[in-house]
Amino acid sequence: MYLKAPTGCDKYIPYIEKITLGIIAAMDVLVVGSGGREHALAWKLKQSPRIGKLYIAPGNGGTSTLGENVPIGQMEFEKLAQFAQEKKVGLTVVGPDDPLVGGIVDVFKARGLRIWGPSREAAQIEGSKAFSKQFMHEAKIPTAEFAVFSNAALALAHVRVKGAPIVIKASGLSLGKGVYVCRDLTEAERAITEIMVERVHNDAGNEVVIEEYLDGPEISIHALTDGYSHILFPASQDHKPIGDGDVGENTGGMGTIAPVPWVTPEMMSSVEGQIVTPTFEALKKNGIQFQGLLYPGLKVTLGGLEVLEYNARFGDPETQVYMRLLKTDLLDLLEASVDGTIDALRTKIEWHRGFAANIVIASGGYPGEYKKELPITGIEDAEKVEGVVTFHAGTKIENGQVVTAGGRVLGVSAIGGTLKQALDRAYEAVGEIYFEGMYFRRDIGAKSLSA
Q: Give the footprint of ligand ADP on this chain (CB under 6 A).
A: 144, 167, 169, 176, 178-179, 181, 211-214, 218, 240, 250, 297, 308-309
Q: How far is the CB of 277 from Mg ion (least distance, A)?
A: 21
The residue (of 226 and 318) whose beta carbon lies closer to Mg ion is 318
Q: Residue of minimal CB distance from ligand ADP?
A: 309
Partner that binds at residue 179, options Mg ion, ligand ADP, none, CB closer than 5 to 8 Å by kind: ligand ADP
Q: How far is the CB of 94 from ligand ADP (least distance, A)?
A: 18
The residue (of 95 and 297) whose beta carbon lies closer to Mg ion is 297
Q: Is 231 left (phi over 0), alpha (psi -120 to 50) or beta?
A: beta
The residue (of 36 and 227) whose beta carbon lies closer to ligand ADP is 36
The residue (of 297 and 407) whose beta carbon lies closer to Mg ion is 297
Q: How far is the CB of 396 from ligand ADP (least distance, A)?
A: 26
**Residue 347: how many other CB atoms lie within 10 Å:** 7
The residue (of 30 and 181) whose beta carbon lies closer to ligand ADP is 181
Partner that binds at residue 253, options Mg ion, ligand ADP, none, CB closer than 5 to 8 Å by kind: none
Q: How far is the CB of 211 from ligand ADP (least distance, A)?
A: 5
Partner that binds at residue 95, options ligand ADP, Mg ion, none, CB closer than 5 to 8 Å by kind: none
The residue (of 87 and 177) whose beta carbon lies closer to ligand ADP is 177
* C-alpha triplet 252, 326, 388: angle, nearest 5°: 70
Q: How far is the CB of 97 from Mg ion (least distance, A)?
A: 10
Q: How far is the CB of 13 from Mg ion (least distance, A)?
A: 50
Partner that binds at residue 67, options Mg ion, ligand ADP, none, CB closer than 5 to 8 Å by kind: none
Q: How far is the CB of 265 from ligand ADP (least distance, A)?
A: 24
Question: Taking the mean position of all CA atoms in its chain, how far away is CA 255?
Answer: 12
Q: How far is the CB of 85 from ligand ADP (least distance, A)?
A: 33
The residue (of 61 and 297) whose beta carbon lies closer to Mg ion is 297
Buried-state track 247-268, b at ≥16 Cβ within 10 A, e below 16: eeebbbbbbbbbbbbebeeebb
- Residue ranges binding Mg ion (CB under 5 A): 297
Partner that binds at residue 144, options ligand ADP, Mg ion, none, CB closer than 5 to 8 Å by kind: ligand ADP
What's the rounded Cα separation, in Å, for the pair 236 and 317? 10
Partner that binds at residue 218, options Mg ion, ligand ADP, none, CB closer than 5 to 8 Å by kind: ligand ADP
The residue (of 178 and 227) whose beta carbon lies closer to ligand ADP is 178
